[in-house]
Copies of this chain bind each other. A is one copy, B any other.
């Protein structure tokens, strides 16, 4: 499967935000995340880098 995990960089460390994300949508100053299990999350962050081969979405506080 091709979903990715989102991590938030906080004080130099990566904290897992949500696994198996299928949908990501920026909304004003938030990011809307939805995973393949239907879990949804909104987080005040922006994308730092995504690597789809590694299934990683790295976020930083916005």
A interface list, Cβ under 8 A from B: 1-4, 21-26, 36, 46-53, 55
Contact = CB atoms under 8 A, between A and B. Distances in A.
Contacts of A22: 51-53
8 contacts: A2-B2, A2-B4, A22-B51, A23-B50, A23-B51, A24-B50, A26-B46, A47-B47
The A contact surface, by secondary structure, is strand
A48 B7 CA distance: 20
Number of copies: 2
A49 B32 CA distance: 9
Contact of A25 (B24, B26, B48, B55): B48
B49 A2 contact: no
